[in-house]
Structure 1
Amino acid sequence: MSTAEPVSPPDILSADYLADPYPLQRVLRDEHPVLFHEATQSYLISRFEDVAGAFKSPAFSSRNYEWQLEPLHGRTILQMEGTEHSRHRALLNPFFRGKGLEKFMPVIMDNAVGLINGIVQRAGDDLMAEIAPRGRTDLVADFTTWFPINVMVDMLGLPKSDHDRFHRWYESIMASLNNLVGDPEVTAAAEATKAELRDYMMPIIEERRTGDGEDLLSRLCRAEVDGHQMSDEEIKAFVSLLLVAGGETTDKAVASMVRNLIDNPEQLEAVRKDRSLVNNAIAETLRHSGPVHMIMRQTEQDVELHGTTVPSGSTCIMMLSSANRDERQFADPEKFDIFRDDLDVAKAFSGAANHVQFILGRHFCVGSLLAQTEMTIALNLVLDNMENLRYPDGFTSREDGLYSRGIPELLVEFDPVPAA
């Protein structure tokens, strides 16, 4: 009597995984839910219950950021624990929730309208000149990579003339985070970016300590909890972190959301006709194709999972995208479905979410509501200004990336909506 041979563990650095990670993530979940990965010297944790549990457990910390992110950004809230983390969270929360976030709504809308209108205007010019019978653009190059960065620069009260500079810094930091092969030129560019950003920000932070501005940076400089303020270095590090956490993730999420809807035209039309479904489209995108695929944690004690002992001090790669497609948590998880009843849309942007794209527990994403706001405005503007949205003939969307993953190019054709 023969028995099935065990399935070999997939390599997350292999060409097959980089091309299409989702089938191999299922192999990990089913056959190797806790796996030591030799090349990264890390334990891969791939099931929803284990990932969600780790985020809520004191047995796992974010000390790994000391070597992973601090060299790029400086010390940020991501690597803080205990009282230090609680104090900084209390300093930041007012600016990213409730009335604090509402103050920045005009900035968000102005940026989105300006970029989308530019796309539509160019498409209109093409029609008028009879160069092309339909509007056409690359939504990634013309909109999604610029929108969240411009919003952040404006929220911080920095000059619009510096949008290009921040976009360049953003691209440099992201290249470094994804520099798995250790390209020295990429590393050198990131080090130069860190120095340039520090030289740029420090005089501005010093000036705004004593000012009365209402922009995010001025208010952060004056904010105080229990007699404590953020230091100049901490504010500078937070600004650097915003370029990634507030830029790259929203950039990729908006592009994936539009791609998902184009790939499911009946759902696209449902959202177009009923805008109350926008949150469904956002939440399902975060679950199905969220931009952050992996995030690291470190064990603070020996942890037993599925018969494997993960020693104290180990680096663990929490596979968010795998957890969010775990069939133990979601029915038919590979399917994009804004009408699924096993995703709690009402709680999808809170610490009570039943997906893990925003993390859970004490390090739940402080900018989740800002991301929801930006994605809502972006999708509504696309739907309001672009009818009959589709791919050009011969174009196929594709994803790339490992720790973060998105669509590098999203060519679309559309019928521009005439101005009212």
Structure 2
Amino acid sequence: MADHRAVPRYDLLSPEFFADPHPTFHRMRTEDPVYWHPQLNVYCLTRYEDVQLITRDPRFSAERTDYYVNVAPAPMREKLKRYDEFISHWMVLADPPRHTRLRGLVAKAFSPQAVEGMRPLVERIANEMIDAVRADGRMDVIRDIAHPLPGAVIGKLLRIPSEDTARLKQWSDAVFTLIGAPAANEELIEIGHQGVLGFEGYLRELIKERRAHPGDDVLSQLLLAEDQGSVLSDAELISTIAMLLASGHETTTHLIGNGLLALIRNPDQMRKLRESPQLIDKAVEEILRYNGAAYQASRRAREDVEIRGVRIEAGQIAFGLIQAANRDPARFPDPDRLDILRKDNRHVGFGAGIHFCLGAQVARVQAQVVLNTIVQRLPDLAVAEPRLEWLQSFLVRGLRALPVTFSA
């Protein structure tokens, strides 16, 4: 059980830490690469090699949805169990053979050809959004582009009415707020519970409609998907669609926001991209390493495992801190420098092993299109506020807002 009275050696909970975690991660990599955090009740791993280990080693399990249940306020445990049951169908929280079955079914809807076919749609939406703000000479990148664009894209893929995307985003935020929180309290559990209820009610009706009127959208494909005689149950289907909506929103929104901020703060790299737009693929990979959206990959030890002389006992949770691993100097030379021409850039920005993000290429396509379009179309980009507010989340790293100015 977490000891909230204990004073941790490293501050991982303050706004200052979330604003710039890298000095702390540097100390942890050097002094305590496998560190027990008494308040979070988890081991924190900060080296690239160790994050790779827990995401690939079968001695660690992805099934960890009961993380909060035993420490949650007693009156809220039933709601939390409902929440845990809902997200337990997410393939990212499943082990083989269940993970293999779920991923095999869902992957059919995300073939390379299907994902690449999204690019013209993303280009059209991104240009329309830039057209709407271009004459103003300023915008909030999160509010005006990075937040609505993934919803519009996934809405098209699922054939969801555009007027419903705002509600879906609210439920997505609610589910992610709890799963990314440092600790569960009554307010957060209620928020997460309402997100689950919203998703379940809406998606149950959508599935009923799509069974009656199938099309060529992702949801129709999931309804028809068969793999060795297996199909998704309704509970799995509802949860999986919610996972695609939630993760598709969060990952892409903050990859775009973090990426543009990194380019603005490194004008030499912005200039390289503006002069050579064909470098965008490399640029997005470097952004994923330098300041991607994924914060950590957590696993539960199936048995006692020793890493760097530290014993992680069976049942204990390990946080593989992706942000720290991607700046490990043992793996990446000069890791705190943004270099869009970086070679051998095998980052873990989308995880690793069998749970490598299924939607990685969808997020890549959107980030490539949006960042290149902004860089090419909006000259003299600058951050408009001296202080930016970062999300206090252990699931995603991202900004609440990114106000920028540019030449109209």
Structure 2 length-normalised TM: 0.89
Return closer, same or farther for 1:400/1:159 CA change in 2, 3 Å cut-off: closer
Contact 1:60 1:299 survives alignment (8 Å): yes
Q: Structure 2 CA distance, aligned partners of 1:16 and 1:258?
A: 21
2:38 is matched with 38
One-letter code aligned to 2:35: L
CA distance in 1, matches of 2:293, 2:171: 19
| Paired residues of 1:260 and 1:285 also in contact (CA < 8 A) | yes
Residue number in structure 2 paired with 1:278: 280
Is 1:108 matched with 2:110?
no
Structure 1 SS opposite 2:343: coil
- Contact 2:169 2:246 survives alignment (8 Å): no
Alpha-carbon distance in structure 2 between the residues aligned to 1:213 and 1:27: 53
Distance in 1, matches of 2:387 and 2:267, equals 15
Q: Which amino acid aligns with 1:88?
A: L
1:10 and 2:10 equivalent?
yes
- Aligned residue for 2:97, secondary structure, equals helix
Which whole-Å CA distance do the structure 2 matches of 1:342 and 1:248 have between them?
27
Unmatched segments (≥5 aa) in structure 2: 1-7, 69-82
How much has 1:390 moved relative to structure 2? 1.9
- Counterpart residue number, 2:386: 395
Decide whether the 8 Å contact of 2:297 with 2:351 is kept in 1: no
What CA distance in whole angstroms lies between the structure 1 residues aligned with 2:43 and 2:339?
31
Match runs of 1:148-163 below 5 Å: 148-163=150-165
Is contact 2:173-2:246 (8 Å) kept? no
State the distance in 1 between where 2:157 and 2:178 align. 25
Q: Which amino acid aligns with 1:111?
A: I
Residue of structure 2 in register with 1:351 after alignment: none
Q: Give, in whole Å, the separation in 2 of the partners of 1:87 and 1:178.
A: 26
* Shift in Å, 1:361: 0.9
Q: Deviations over 1:47-77 (max 9, x none)?
A: 1011112211111110113546735535221
Separation in 1 of the partners of 2:204 and 2:364? 30
1:219-277 CA-to-partner distances (Å, cap 9, x unmatched) read: 11111111111111111101211233111111011011111111111211110111121
Matched residue SS, 1:267: helix
2:181–2:393 contact (8 Å) kept in structure 1: no
Whether the 8 Å CA contact 2:252–2:363 is kept in 1: the answer is yes
Instruction: Name the counterpart of 1:85.
Output: 99
**Could you say what secondary structure the match of 2:407 adopts?**
strand
User: Residues 27 and 78 (structure 1 numbering): CA distance in 2 closer, same or farther, change over 3 Å?
Assistant: same
Q: Is the 8 A contact 1:331 1:342 kept in 2?
A: no
2:226 aligns to what SS in structure 1? Answer: coil
Q: Which residue of 1 aligns with 2:54?
A: 54
Task: Give the match's secondary structure for 1:260.
Answer: helix
Please say if residues 210 and 219 of structure 2, whose CA atoms lie closer than 8 Å, have aligned partners that are also in contact: yes
Provide the secondary structure at the position in 1 that maps to 2:285: helix
**Deviating more after overlay: 325-334 vs 62-71:** 62-71
AA in 2 matched with 1:161: E
Q: Alignment partner of 1:82: what SS?
A: coil
Moved segments of 4+, more than 6 Å: none
Aligned equivalent of 2:312: 310
Q: Distance in 1 between matches of 2:66 and 2:131?
A: 42
Q: Which residue of 1 aligns with 2:216?
A: 214
Pick aligned residue for 1:409 from 395, 401, 406: 401
- In structure 2, C-alpha distance between the alignment counterparts of 1:336 and 1:193, rounded to whole Å: 37
Preserved contact between residue 9 and residue 27 of structure 1 (Cα < 8 Å): no
Shift of 1:87: 2.0
CA-based RMSD = 2.0
- The answer on whether the counterparts of 2:257 and 2:402 sit within 8 Å (CA) in structure 1 is yes
Aligned to 2:5: none
Return the offset for 1:336: 1.4
Asked if the contact 1:107/1:155 (under 8 Å) is kept, the reply is: no
Q: Indicate if the aligned counterparts of 1:66 and 1:75 stay in contact, CA closer than 8 A.
A: no
Determine what percentage of the aligned residue pairs are the same residue.
28
| Structure-2 residue corresponding to 1:99 | 113
Aligned residue identity for 1:412? V
**Structure with greater Cα Rg:** 1
Q: Does the residue aligned with 2:207 lie in a helix, a strand or coil?
A: helix
Q: TM-score scaled by structure 1?
A: 0.86
Q: d(CA) in 1 for partners of 2:348 and 2:284?
A: 14
For residues 183 and 315 of structure 2, the distance between their equivalents in structure 1, rounded to whole angstroms, comes to 24
Given the superposition, is the C-alpha separation of residues 230 and 147 from structure 1 closer, same or farther in structure 2, using an over 3 Å criterion? same
Structure 1 position 371, deviation (Å): 0.8
Q: 1:339 aligns with which of 321, 338, 341?
A: 341
Q: Partners in 2 of 1:316 and 1:256 — Cα distance?
A: 25
In the aligned structure 1, how far is the partner of 2:290 from the partner of 2:37? Answer: 25
Task: Answer whether contact 1:97 1:369 (CA < 8 A) is retained.
Answer: no
**Residue in structure 2 matched with residue 367 of structure 1 by the alignment:** 359
Shift of 1:189: 2.6
Task: Report the Cα distance in structure 2 between the residues aligned to 1:16 and 1:266, rounded to whole angstroms.
Answer: 27
User: Cα–Cα, structure 1 residues 226 and 210, in superposed 2: closer, same or farther, change >3 Å?
Assistant: farther
